[in-house]
Structures are given as structure tokens and as C-alpha cells.
């Protein structure tokens, strides 16, 4: 809800988007408002009239006692579980983290998941070092988010924290424009949880101030 309202305000201020409330919501359910650089080009104006049809059909059906599937934002299963766990755990800055996750379109969620699977397989086989990571860049330059995926150590929490801090330092060292990165850790073996380590690190902020789960 926070992501929808905030992004809608941004898009309307930029005069990129117009329409009735239900149509705007229908457009959000289709796209998650992840529109790339189109919203900043000044060359497009998106009219959303008529995009509320799936919502209208759902409510007309339920009012008539008919079964109907509720329209939802499309996400891959891992990302949906990820968002749900963040909301359930409510770690410090969880709404900020959830907003960042909502900025990622479905196809990019799958690209990140695939990169994580390849990283884990390579590390388990010994083809890549244990401290290796994948860096995922999302969104246009005007509102870019950075994610780093790592295979977290299964030893002590202090060692995992050290590993997370080391990856964050590497990310900040490779690009001066990166001021914040979300780090997502998997275990070396397949697991039921969407992550076993999650942290938000900012350039120049002491490690003890890092938001972590």
C-alpha cells in the first residue's frame, strides 16, 4: 500500500500518469509502476482509463456470489515469500526495505533468483570463492536500487556479520555512486525460507547501525 501510494504521487507529479483511482490501481496491478526510464523521458503520458476492468469483474462476481480470482501484482514465488517475511518480521526500516523490493519487476526478480542459484552452485562446487557475490542493479538512474546476493556462512552469527560487512565494502568500492545496498544471503544448501541473512548497508554508516535480520 505504501509503495502504491508513494509511487502514484511521484508519477502524477511528473505528469506521466493520469486516470481514475480504480484505473490507476489496475495499472499498478499490471506493472507495479516499474516503468523504467519512460517516466522520466518527458516523451510519454500514460492514460490508464479502462484498466480497472479486472478489478470490476472481481467485485461484480463476488457480489453475485460467483467465484473469482482476486487481481494481484504479479511476482515470482520467491519474491512474494521474501516480501511476506519482511512484513512479518518487521525488522528496523522494514517499510523502506519492502518499498525497495516492490520496485523490482517480475522478470528482474527471476533474473536475480537465477543469478543466486548459479552463485550457490558455483561456490558449492568450488568454482568460485566463498566470499564471492552477485550485484544486481534495478531501476533507471533516477531511482536506482542495488542488491547484493551472497551465500552466507553457516557458522556463527558474528562470522556471517563479518561476511556481510565485507561484501558491502566490496560493493561500495566498485562504484562511488552506490550509497546503499540491500544484501540477501542464502545458505549453501537449499532451504525453505526465502533468505537466511538480510541487511541494509549504507556508505559511511557504522556497521552497528546497519539494519540486519
Buried b (16+ CB within 10 A) or exposed e, 184-209: bbbeeeeeeebbbbbbbbeeeeeeee
What lies within 8 Å, CB to CB, of 105 at 6+ separation is 31, 32, 34
Question: What percentage of the chain carries pLDDT values higher than 70?
Answer: 86
Stated pTM of the model:
0.82
* CA dist., res. 80 & res. 109, Å (int): 10
SS3 181: strand
pLDDT at 18 (0 to 100): 64
For the segment 110-166, what is each residue's pLDDT rounded down to a tens digit? 999 999 999 999 999 999 998 899 999 998 888 899 999 999 877 667 778 888 899
Amino acid at each position: 500500500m505504501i509503495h502504491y501510494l508513494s509511487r502514484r504521487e511521484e508519477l502524477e507529479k511528473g505528469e506521466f500518469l493520469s486516470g481514475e483511482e480504480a484505473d490507476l490501481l489496475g495499472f499498478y496491478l499490471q506493472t507495479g509502476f516499474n516503468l523504467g526510464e519512460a517516466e522520466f523521458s518527458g516523451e510519454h503520458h500514460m492514460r490508464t482509463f479502462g484498466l480497472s476492468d479486472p478489478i470490476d469483474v472481481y467485485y461484480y462476481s463476488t457480489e453475485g456470489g460467483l467465484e473469482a480470482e482476486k487481481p494481484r501484482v504479479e511476482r515470482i514465488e520467491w519474491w512474494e515469500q521474501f516480501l511476506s517475511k519482511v512484513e512479518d518480521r518487521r525488522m528496523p526500516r522494514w517499510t523502506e526495505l519492502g518499498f525497495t523490493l516492490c520496485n523490482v519487476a517480475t522478470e528482474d526478480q527471476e533474473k536475480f533468483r537465477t543469478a543466486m542459484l548459479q552463485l550457490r552452485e558455483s561456490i558449492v562446487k568450488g568454482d568460485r570463492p566463498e566470499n564471492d557475490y552477485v550485484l544486481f542493479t534495478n531501476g533507471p538512474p533516477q531511482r536506482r536500487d542495488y542488491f547484493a546476493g551472497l551465500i552466507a556462512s553457516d557458522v556463527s552469527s558474528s562470522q556471517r556479520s563479518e561476511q556481510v560487512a565485507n561484501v558491502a565494502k566490496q560493493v561500495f568500492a566498485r562504484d562511488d555512486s552506490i550509497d546503499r545496498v540491500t544484501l540477501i544471503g542464502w545458505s549453501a544448501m537449499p532451504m525453505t525460507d526465502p533468505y537466511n541473512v538480510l541487511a541494509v548497508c549504507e556508505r559511511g554508516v557504522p556497521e552497528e547501525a546497519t539494519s540486519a535480520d
